[in-house]
Chain A
Amino acid sequence: MELKSRDFSDAKRVLKIRKLEVGLTGRPDAVHVLNEIDLDIRAGETHCLVGESGSGKSVTSLAAMGLLPKDALEIRGGLIDLQGFEITNATAAQMRELRARRIAMIFQEPMTALNPVLRVGEQIEEVLNMHTDLSQSEAKKRTIDIMEQVHLPDVERIYSAFPHQLSGGQRQRIMIAMALILDPDLLIADEPTTALDVTTQLQILKLIAEMQERQGTAVLFITHDMGVVAEIADTVSVMQKGRIVERAPIRDLLKNPQEDYTKKLLSAVPNLTPRSARDVSGKKDVVAVEDLNMTYGGGGLFRKSDEVKAARDVNFSIAPGRTLGIVGESGSGKSTVARCIMRLIDPTAGKITVAGHEIAKLTRRQLQPHRKHLQIVFQDPYRSLNPRWTVARSLCEGPINFGTSREEAMEKAAELMELVDLPRDALARYPHQFSGGQRQRIAIARAVAMKPDLLVADEAVSALDVSVQAQVLDLLDDIQEKFGVAMLFITHDLRVAAQICDEVLVMQRGQVVEHGPAGRVLSDPHHDYTRNLIEAAPGRHWDFANFRALESAPGHQGAIA
């Protein structure tokens, strides 16, 4: 694939950071959050900061913007220089003047970065009113102009729209328009596409590249996604625990990483090439879903409200020991299907057969004995465990509900901890004492404690760093092998799906558009939507784990040069 790796050594230096140290406010003895950060960004260059959560990527960017939260973090030493202007010593008024004009920032979540009660056009115009003397009509003209440049459709309508009336991609375009309207020298983008669907992400990445080319802006791009890095970076700095451990042009970094940490990070990126499907065991399917329908709304006392069909005629079945993946973008109905099967919501129509029993129409009480056949692991490990309960209590809750004695349940819990590779003494601790990956292991242990026939994983690894993600996927694999449990794996990430699924079901707006063996669907998609999804996967032409380009990129050939 084509990596950018342009050479910028002749270009004008826009941002220079030297030996930057950031520490906790009021605690000079505490370990520094950032250590000796050196960074150079030149005009027109895209510099990516990558690293796992907590590595200090965002702190670096906030320091450069002069936006460190004063009561928590402070600069202890070093220099941040924006074209000869020292940000480290700037006053608040100077910084205000600097922002937008010379340095701008876009954030991860455009919904919270925009003011919900102002029209988006006015919000862009506000930047002009603050920093320029343009007349009302001129300002409006400039605003319309930049909105056209970021390829917003129907600009006049969107100008007077409120943020909630726009899609995530459109909101992010507004943010970009706002950031670039005064033609800044440096654009800092902090995970700007993480909250977006892959197809939208691709468009936004293209837009940033296009704007950069047109205006010669230097971009500091912060991301945890190696695919995105491969797509847009010229130069990459890898951060770990507040230090930059490696810096190299993108091609060198991907082909020939020097540091162990970089290698580890790259090796953990799952491959888009599907795993070889496991043999069909010939056992009877443990779960069968027939014509499942879920419609929201439609009620209302006086008039019928609009119906939303979140799932339409979904059919599938899973045999013991096999994994079915449901992929799709947000709003495609994949989580709705999972929640219907778990009976956390009641499906409007259809049959769900689990371990020989039809459960779609059972009442809460009738359902209770069947609950143990189905278990779920949620996305957010910070919220899926009761913060006031010890791990032991969480693990014992299910078995005790089904008549196991407390002593027996405790014994089981201790065994489970070993299974998920956590120490036994962790049983007495509380969720906040564990990291995200460890909590997800506990959540898995809690589900496995019930010896379910079906394990539903609803975006179970999406909130985790790649290296942790790989470990959790391995754990799920082990468990499946050991217990022969059938798994329903919901994910938006095709790489993860390729890693773990035997079969894949692609959903779009509540409908199944494609269903087949993972190998076939991912390498030879029949439906346009599947093809779009695969083509939008960033860095899909690169085999990160083996430090080389993929000879035969999955998906339809020749779509993107």
Chain B
Amino acid sequence: MTEIPTSRHSAFHVLTGLFSLPAGARIGVGPMIAAVILVVIVLATLLAPFYVPYDPLSMDAMGRLKPPSEAHILGTDPYGRDIFSRVMMGGRVSLLIGVGAALVSIAVGLMIGLVAGFFRAADGIIMRIMDSLMAIPAILLAIALVALNGPSLSSVIIAITVPEVPRVVRLVRSVVLSAREEPYVEAAIALGSSMPKILIQHLMPNTFAPLIVQGTYICASAILIEAILSFLGAGVSTEIPTWGNIMAEGRTYFQIKPGLIFWPGLMLSLCILAINLLGDTARDLLDPRMKKREG
């Protein structure tokens, strides 16, 4: 019997394979802070309905543009709505759009990318379609969709997703193209495994690590694009507060009430900064070149 070195990994870590950190990898202070900030923002916005003092939509003609006070921590907007409540509630929609756009574009991109990478015949056609989709600017598409359907959550998500999908497709396709040349894939062909089985069981897991990283970037850019769209008036309807449309409404009162732009802007910046920083950290940790060979 030959001796087998014991592993430092627990079965779970090996099972996922993705989340096993390389030996000696240290997560710096920056990403830690980013993670804390992100968790706080996510929890605060998710739980907002339980603690915000006012309905973000209830107007008060008597209390317009009030400075911060005990009743209104951040003051009120031109319609007398509580800014604090609006910012916290608005974050829910912003984050929903970010996460939603990331999930939808990854799910769609993954499927198309797997097919493009594995079936040579389909590759050329799919990739040319993706190239043309990439040429559509998100903002233009959003304006067109809003013009057609009126402002809504789904048109915003579609507008953000359509230009992102080709990026995901390209990523997945490149991973599949290199993985399909691996001897273990050829061995699976020799063992008589069917194409869907090889695609899903052997090739797809290789794409997860880069997709996690790509997902964080999509999430951050979706939040930002939503803000831009809302600012331009092509986003979610003004009845639903988002960070973007709160800032859009606040811009005319910027000189007398800077808090209208500052507070949602601050949340937006912190959130995107934190997500991007975590994405970078994930990229470094998941990069196979960082992983030392073990065993």
Number of interface residues of A (CB under 8 A): 41
For the complex, give the distance between the alpha carbons of A426 and B17 in Å.
Answer: 18
Q: What count of chain B residues pass the 8 Å CB interface test?
A: 29
A466 interfacial contact with B, CB 8 Å: no
The reply to whether the CB of B294 lies closer than 8 angstroms to some CB of chain A is yes
Chain B positions within 8 Å of A384 at CB level: 183-184, 187
Answer yes or no: A107 CB below 8 A from chain B CBs.
no
Q: Which residue of chain B has the shortest Cβ distance to A428 in the bound complex? A: B11
B132 at the interface (CB under 8 A from A): no
For B17, give its contact among A382, A387, A422, A450 (CB under 8 Å).
A387
Q: Does B295 interact with chain A (Cβ within 8 Å)?
A: yes
B5 interface neighbour in A368, A387, A423, A433, Cβ under 8 Å: A433
A385 on the interface (CB 8 Å rule)? yes
Given contacts A387-B17, A433-B4, A438-B2, contact A446 B187 (CB under 8 A): yes
List A contacts of B294 (CB < 8 A): 432-433
Give every chain A residue within 8 A of B183 (Cβ-Cβ). 378-380, 383-384
Given contacts A380-B183, A388-B17, contact A429 B190 (CB under 8 A): no
CB distance from B186 to the nearest CB of A (A): 5
Question: Is A32 an interface residue, CB under 8 A from the partner?
Answer: no
Least Cβ–Cβ distance between A268 and chain B, in angstroms: 16
B4 touches A423 (CB 8 A): yes
Question: What residues of B have a CB within 8 angstroms of the CB of A401 in the complex?
Answer: 191-194, 197
Are B295 and A432 within 8 A (Cβ)?
yes
List residues 468-516 of chain A with CB under 8 A from any CB of chain B. Answer: none
Residues of A within 8 A of B193 (CB): 397-398, 401
A376 contacts across to B, CB distance below 8 A: 186-187, 190
Minimum CB distance partner of B188 in chain A: A397
- Our pick among A368, A386, A421, A433 for the contact of B2 (Cβ within 8 Å) is A421
Q: From residue B128, how far is it (CB to closest CB) to chain A in Å?
A: 15
Residues of A within 8 A of B189 (CB): 344
Decide: B4 and A434 in contact? CB cutoff 8 A. Answer: yes
Q: Is the CB of B4 within 8 A of A438?
A: yes
- A261 nearest CB across to chain B (Å): 17
**26 pairs from A and B in contact (CB 8 Å cutoff):** A344-B189, A364-B195, A368-B192, A369-B192, A375-B190, A376-B190, A378-B183, A379-B183, A383-B183, A384-B184, A384-B187, A386-B184, A388-B17, A398-B191, A401-B191, A401-B193, A401-B197, A402-B192, A423-B2, A426-B4, A428-B11, A432-B7, A433-B5, A435-B295, A438-B4, A446-B187
**12 additional A-B residue pairs with CB within 8 Å, beyond A344-B189, A379-B183:** A374-B190, A376-B186, A376-B187, A385-B184, A397-B188, A401-B193, A401-B194, A430-B7, A432-B294, A432-B295, A433-B294, A437-B2
Sort A-B residue pairs by CB-CB distance and give the 6 closest, nearest first. Answer: A398-B191, A371-B192, A384-B183, A378-B183, A432-B295, A401-B192
